[in-house]
Amino acid sequence: MPFHRMHADRDETPNALEFVTAEDRPPHADRPWLFTNMVTTLDGATAVDGVSGEIGDDDDRAMFRALRASADVILVGSRTANVEGYRPPQRSPEVDRARTAAGRQMRPLVVVVSASLSIDPSIELFTDPTYRPMVFTVEDAPADRRRRLEEVAEVVAIGEAERVELPRALRHLASAGHRTVLSEGGPSLNGQLIADDLVDEWNLTIAPVLAAGDAARPAHGTASPDLRSLDLDRCWTGERAMFCRWVRSVS
């Protein structure tokens, strides 16, 4: 097939929030639609000095808000929640209108995944009295850490050994009526989602910077037994960065 060139004098896209929240994300019969949002440098780094915020720009933050507005649940690993200082999702009139139009609750539920419960309960995600997140862990998680987190979050044990069983976790979320789940990583969580063949949509922001260093890829961990085929659905350019969406192949 021929290549297609992207021209600098491209037409402008519609408002990102309106466009992205209108994209089709149909839930499965037994679990929600699972999509990701990751940002990398040109050389594949997902963080600079441990955090991703140094990589993105205003356009990336606009896409971040649009994808969050499309989610019933935000799934995140404990290390990412700790390092990035997670807090309850922020509201705005525009986001509230988009979520209302889609029949979503005003703020998505943030769910932290941690078998060891190595989560800092002092981060803002757990200290806001108006918001109660969820934590997925395992039956053998340290009892003292579980008791401490149960004071500020709903803690659900799904799995017995050293790993949360993500297929069961997604079914648990579906049983509560959640239709879409956004994974914000980190790379270990994304790697597990890929290995379990749970990724329906991959959103990647490519920032025009080089970082080198030893930052992880957007996903790593146990290798998937098969390559997962996704189809390119859209590719936008902002002021500097590129924003791409791939969806699970139907073939």
pLDDT, tens only, 189-226 = 999 999 999 999 999 999 988 888 777 788 887 766 67
The confidence score (pLDDT) of residue 62 equals 92
The confidence score (pLDDT) of residue 177 equals 97
Tokens describing residue 73:
């649940």
The confidence score (pLDDT) of residue 9 equals 55
The confidence score (pLDDT) of residue 12 equals 65
Q: How far apart are the first and last CA of the chain?
A: 18
d(CA 199, CA 176): 20
224: CB partners within 8 A, 6+ apart: 194, 195, 197
- Average the pLDDT over 43-70 and give the result: 82
- Average the pLDDT over 111-135 and give the result: 96
- Average the pLDDT over 132-137 and give the result: 98
The tens digit of pLDDT for each residue in 75-86 reads 999 999 999 999
Residue ranges with strand state E in 114-223: 134-137, 154-157, 180-183, 201-207
Evaluated on CA atoms 138, 141, 146, 149, the torsion sign reads negative
Contact 41, 209 (CB under 8 A): yes
The confidence score (pLDDT) of residue 219 equals 85
Tell me what percent of the residues of the chain surpass a pLDDT of 90. 69
The confidence score (pLDDT) of residue 238 equals 86
Q: What type of residue sits at position 210?
A: L
Domains and CATH numbers, the chain: 33-71+180-251 (3.40.430.10)
pLDDT, the chain, mean: 90
